[in-house]
Amino acid sequence: MERFKFNTAEIIKSMTKAHGATTVEHENGLHARPASVFVRTASDFDSEVAVSKLDDEGDADAKSSIAVISLGIEPGDEIKITAEGSDADEAVERLITLVEHDFEAKD
C-alpha cells in the first residue's frame, strides 16, 4: 500500500485565515462604484473573502456586488474583512489598502 506524502508547508498555507478592520471614509460608503471596485479586487483572489460591519454579526461574500451593497455600509462605518485560503493575507491587505485609499485601485 502506497502512503500519501504531504508537504506540511503547503497544507498550512492552503488553510490560511486572515482578517483586518478599517473605516470607510468614501462619501458614498460602500455603494455603487466603490462596491464595484471592492468586489472586482476581492475577485482577484482565490481565497474566500467576506466583509461585514464591525458591529454586526452578519457578513457578505466580498465577491458579490449585491451582497456587499446589501450591508448598507455608510461613510464612517467600520468594516471587518476576512479571508480564508492560500492568498488570504494578501487579499485582506489589498482590500484594506483599497478602502483606505478611497477605492482608487493601485495596479
Rounded Cα distance, 18 and 4, in Å: 29
Global pTM reads 0.83
Which of 19, 26, 31, 101 is catalytic? The answer is 31
Examine the residue annotation and report whether 101 is marked as an active-site residue of this protein: no
Structure confidence at residue 3 as a pLDDT band (50, 70, 90): low
Encode pLDDT of 71-93 as tens digits. Answer: 999 999 999 999 999 999 999 99
Joined together, the cell numbers standing for residue 96 give 484594506
Instruction: Give me the helix-helix angle, 32-42 and 88-100, nearest 10°.
Output: 160
pLDDT for res 58: 87
